[in-house]
Amino acid sequence: MTFNELNIVSPILKALEAEGYKTPTPIQQQAIPILLMGKDLLGCAQTGTGKTAAFAIPILQLLDAQHAERSHRHIKVLILTPTRELAIQIGESFAAYGRNLRLKHTVIFGGVPQGSQVQALQRGIDILIATPGRLLDLMSQGYISLKDLSIFVLDEADRMLDMGFIHDVKRVVTKLPVKRQTLFFSATMPPEIQKLANTILVNPEKVEVTPASTTAETVTQSVYYVDKKDKKELLTFVLKNPAITMALVFTRTKHGADKVVKDLHKANITAEAIHGNKSQNARQRALSNFKDGRIRVLVATDIAARGIDVDNLSHVINYEIPEVPETYVHRIGRTGRAGASGIAITFCDEEERQDFRNILKLTGQVIPVVEGHPYPASGSGKVTINPPKNKEVVQRPNAVPGNSNTPKRWQGGNRNFNKR
């Protein structure tokens, strides 16, 4: 299928060509016709699937067709997204796909002075991309009116919930015109999110791609068993491979991220950290240094990395394994995007073996073990997806989820067993 077959108008087709997009991704193929018909949409998709273009392209086309007055612009579209990084990236997508149209958008988010954002709003815009806190703030100051809104997009609804923004989202929804087209995107559908979707969507069409437990087929994965104390040498060793031109390295903590950067600097490898203790400017600078190739390694915590979108990112390195197995899927989804190939390397120490086992169970994949590297783990054995043969299990062979005699860690099913 081509974008042409999706009835995209020529100014947008030209912009997509300039972006190098040849074929629509599955979510784009499914969502674009639904959205062009003006229907509500429930999209189960994570970043990396081409989700942003799946809503940005039809929105631009619908607005362009309205031939609205250019002199007194009103906000017609609101896109609510949880992080500043995502907001900025969505803004960049609208700029790219809408480059041949005369529509205006702006991006507003917290953590920076509001002056220039207010000025952009006052100049008049058609499309507003916002994080919830700053949006409510500027609405309460009277800078934003949503009375002419016709399309509302809620992006990454499950992360809104994780990050504690769900009440803000609900408050925003109460301020929107009832008659509107609503697009709701979430990678996962926990009950609270399902409930929210039910309240804000009207007869939605459902589109689902790559569930959260599925790792992209284009990502080649491997694991190195290593002792915790040797991880920094192993990282330097792995980075000796000149094929790794850009690597996103994940740690569990902010302190851990800073420590990895220091170790890399000692080994003369350019690196910067991006995490919640850094100012918005420092984060933005680190991200653009990385995107522009001025630094080779970006070290990030999971929260800071949310929504980071780097074209052509070849390598993701899990320096530390996440506790929540779905996070692994999100992390490695940063590479191998939109059909490109990517490589995900995981370092697993003795203490992390259970978390790694949980990842294997979730993804149902066999992740090849790299043997013969210079820093092999001193502990025994590889991780398999069988339950651990430790003392407790041997003593309680009848352990079943839901049985009060069953150790707590077994309750709630296999996915959570032995969760720290």
The residue among 52 and 301 lying less far from ligand AMP, judged by its C-beta, is 52
CA distance 157 to 196: 9
Cβ 23 to ligand AMP shortest distance, Å? 6
Q: Is 47 in the site for ligand AMP (CB under 6 A)?
A: yes
- 3 state SS of 130: strand
184, 204 contact by CB (below 8 A)? yes
Q: Which of 43, 48, 91, 98 is the binder for ligand AMP (CB under 6 A)?
A: 48
CA distance 318 to 167: 33
Cβ 204 to ligand AMP shortest distance, Å? 20
The residue among 25 and 150 lying less far from ligand AMP, judged by its C-beta, is 25
Q: Which of 13, 15, 32, 53 is the binder for ligand AMP (CB under 6 A)?
A: 53
Complete DSSP assignment for 344-382: EEEEE-GGGHHHHHHHHHHHT-PPPBPPS-SS--SS---
Strand 247-250 and strand 181-186: pairing?
Answer: unpaired
The residue among 20 and 402 lying less far from ligand AMP, judged by its C-beta, is 20
Q: Is 49 in the site for ligand AMP (CB under 6 A)?
A: yes
Complete DSSP assignment for 195-211: HHHHHH-SS-EEEE-S-
Question: What Cα–Cα distance (Å) separates residue 167 from each residue in 154, 173, 174, 206?
Answer: 13, 10, 11, 24
Cβ 333 to ligand AMP shortest distance, Å? 9
CA distance 394 to 372: 33
Q: Is 309 in the site for ligand AMP (CB under 6 A)?
A: yes
Q: Which of 269, 338, 370, 393 is the binder for ligand AMP (CB under 6 A)?
A: 338
Q: Is 311 in the site for ligand AMP (CB under 6 A)?
A: yes
The residue among 114 and 214 lying less far from ligand AMP, judged by its C-beta, is 214
Q: Which of 15, 35, 42, 52 is the binder for ligand AMP (CB under 6 A)?
A: 52
Question: How many residues belong to the site for ligand AMP (CB under 6 A)?
Answer: 15
Strand 247-250 and strand 297-300: pairing?
Answer: parallel
Q: Is 370 in the site for ligand AMP (CB under 6 A)?
A: no
x/- map, 6-45, ligand AMP, by CB under 6 A: ---------------x--xx--x-----------------
Cβ 4 to ligand AMP shortest distance, Å? 13
The residue among 42 and 383 lying less far from ligand AMP, judged by its C-beta, is 42
Q: Which of 278, 334, 337, 353 is the binder for ligand AMP (CB under 6 A)?
A: 337
DSSP letter at 175 equals T
CA distance 237 to 243: 13
Amino acid in the structure at residue 12: I
Characterise 65 by phi-psi region: left (phi > 0), alpha (psi -120 to 50), beta (else): alpha
What is the number of the residue whose Cβ is closest to ligand AMP?
52
Strand 151-154 and strand 77-80: pairing?
Answer: parallel
DSSP letter at 366 equals P
Q: Which of 43, 50, 98, 342 is the binder for ligand AMP (CB under 6 A)?
A: 50
Interface residues with ligand AMP (CB under 6 A)? Answer: 21, 24-25, 28, 47-53, 309, 311, 337-338
